[in-house]
Amino acid sequence: MIEVESYLSENNFKNFKINEPLSNHTTFQVGGIARFVVTPETKKQLISLVEYLKLKNMPFKVIGNGSNLLPSDKIYEGIIIKTNQALNYLEVKDREVIVGAGYSLVKLAYDMIQYELEGLEFIGGIPGTIGGAVFMNAGAYNKEMKDVVKEILLINHKGEFLTYHKEDLQYAYRKSILQYEKPLLIIEAKLKLKKGSSEIIRNLLEKRRKRRINTQPLKFPSGGSTFRNPIGTHAYLLIDKAGLRGYQMGGAKISEKHCNFIINVEKAKSKDVKDLVEYTIEKVYQVTGVKLQPEIEFFNWD
């Protein structure tokens, strides 16, 4: 790891931390220590770092806001790379939007008001970044990223720059080919939107914001929706039917306000959250016969 620190210093990386708690970089506010957390300032710096680590065969993980991530409580003997500065760019040409993978989904939804472009209202309440949304085909209100993505630019595991068109991504509910091929880095996405009314877009975003405040436990750290909705029903209904509303393990609790949210109420450990996820899956299956699938990504547990 001394070699990594030397590389970062010699290449003018100003924003990196050594032995940094991942609880500072996940919306669950949990996670063990990472040997390095690096936030490159430019796209060039970011790409160079990824290529260097790949060449040296050093473990690393690229993240955005950490909104869908559950790292374990143990030390991660690798480098966490944050994209929310280097890939935080936006370019709008007529109805096409080119946006960096580190760009905030909520900000992007509201940015479209000034451009009078509709189609991204559904991401207005998702606390993640474009990279994560493209990776998992994020969605809400019966809309998904597959409805707006035209193509994406990435670096694959061989270190090659590739453009994936929409059909290449093999999108399905909360799934894409990226989850199986696992690229080194998603750089940007090109989106195709429709002309709309700024007033209508703004009103819809505001209406949904108020609804979230009334129905979701936004005052507590969480990873957003914990489980995918099974075909024909909603995960929160099954969790409620299993009698788990308000159920708590350690510092992690199933929200009484919305039972598809596991929230950090008392300085939870990652293990508390994981144990509660696994217990919920087991209990719901016993009661309903449906096996829930988590939306969150488990990291550094093996």
**pLDDT 10s digits, 19-58:** 999 999 999 999 999 999 999 999 999 999 999 999 999 9
Catalytic residue among 174, 202, 208, 245: 174
- Tell me, yes or no, if 295 is annotated catalytic: yes
Evaluate if residue 1 carries a pLDDT over 80. no
List pLDDT tens digits, range 217-231. Answer: 999 999 999 999 999
Work out whether the CA dihedral 215, 221, 225, 226 comes out positive or negative: negative
* pLDDT on residue 159: 86
- Tell me, yes or no, if 225 is annotated catalytic: yes
pTM of this prediction? 0.92
- Tell me, yes or no, if 222 is annotated catalytic: no
Catalytic residue among 20, 121, 188, 295: 295
**Same domain (yes/no): 267, 293:** yes
**Same domain (yes/no): 97, 165:** yes
Range with the poorest average pLDDT among 1-15, 104-118, 132-146, 234-248: 1-15
**Same domain (yes/no): 76, 96:** no
* pLDDT on residue 2: 79
The answer as to whether 285 is a domain residue is yes
The answer as to whether 208 is a domain residue is no
* pLDDT on residue 174: 92
**Same domain (yes/no): 105, 185:** yes
**Residue 74 belongs to what domain range?**
2-82
Q: Whole-number mean pLDDT of the chain?
A: 96
Tell me the one-letter amino acid at 33. Answer: I
Catalytic residue among 72, 225, 255, 270: 225
- pLDDT, average across residues 152-177: 94
CA 290 to chain centre: 25
Helices (H), the chain: 2-10, 43-55, 105-115, 130-136, 178-181, 198-215, 235-241, 270-288
Evaluate if residue 257 carries a pLDDT over 90. yes
Of all residues in the chain, the percent with pLDDT exceeding 70 is 100
